[in-house]
Amino acid sequence: MAYRAFVFDFDGTLADTLEESRRIYNFMAPDYRLRQVEQEELEHLRHLSLKELLDHLDIPKRRVPVLIGRGTALMRGNISQLRLIEGMAEVLPALRARASSFGVLTSNATANVDLFLRAHGLREHFDFISSTSKLTGKAKHLKAIRKTFSLNPEEMIYIGDEIRDIKASKKSGVPVAAVTWGFNSQESLSNENPEHLLNHPSQLLDLSHPW
C-alpha cells in the first residue's frame, strides 16, 4: 500500500529520547513519591502496555498530565542535544519528496519537537506539529488531521513506537506502522497486529509511491 500522508510520533520514533525520559522521570519521582526506574529495568518495561506500565510503576492516572507537562518542560533544556534515530536523516527527505503531507502527532510539547527538528535540519520537511496532553488522546487528533487534509483513511498512515500508538490508529481508522527501534518491544507491538511492523527507517520508503 502506498500512502500520501505520513504522520509521525516523536519520542522513540524520530528522536532517541528513552534515556533522557528515564533521567527526567527519576528527577521528578521524589516530588510525587514515585520510585526510581533503573536502566536494567527498561527491557522489562518495553513489553508493557500503557496501563500495565502505570500499574507497574504505581503511577495514579490523575498524576499523568502533571508528569507529562513538567517532564516535557524539563526536556526542553536538552532537546537540541538528543540524537535523531539512526537512518532518519537520510530517509525523511526522500520520503517527504514522495508525500503530499508530512507531520508529527506527539504527547511531547510542540516547542520541543520544533527545536529538535531545527537542530537536525529537518523542520522544513514537516507541514505541521500537533500535540496532545493526554496519553490516550491521539485517536481524535488523527481523525482531525485526516479531515484537515481531506484524506481517505487508507491514504494516511501513523508511524509510532508504542502499543498506545497502534491502539489510537485502530480507533481512528487510520493505518499504522509500528517501529521496533523505540519504546515497546517488537513482540508486544506485533501482538497488537499493526498494518506494518518496521525494523529500520529505510523500510518507510516501501510505504510510499516513488513518483
Please name the residue that has the C-alpha cell 520537511: 125
CA dist., res. 33 & res. 31, Å (int): 6
Q: What percent of the chain has pLDDT over 90?
A: 91
Low-confidence ranges of the chain (pLDDT < 70): 1, 135-136, 210-211
CATH architecture of the domain with residue range 5-16+83-207: 3-Layer(aba) Sandwich (3.40)
Those residues with Cβ within 8 angstroms of residue 179's Cβ, 6 or more apart along the chain or in another chain = 12, 13, 159, 160, 161, 198, 199, 201
Helix (H, G, I), strand (E, B) or coil at 3: coil
Give the pLDDT confidence score for residue 35 in this predicted structure.
93
Domain boundaries, the chain: 5-16+83-207, 18-80
Q: What is the pTM of this model?
A: 0.94
DSSP string, 11-38: BTTTB--HHHHHHHHHHHGGGGT-----
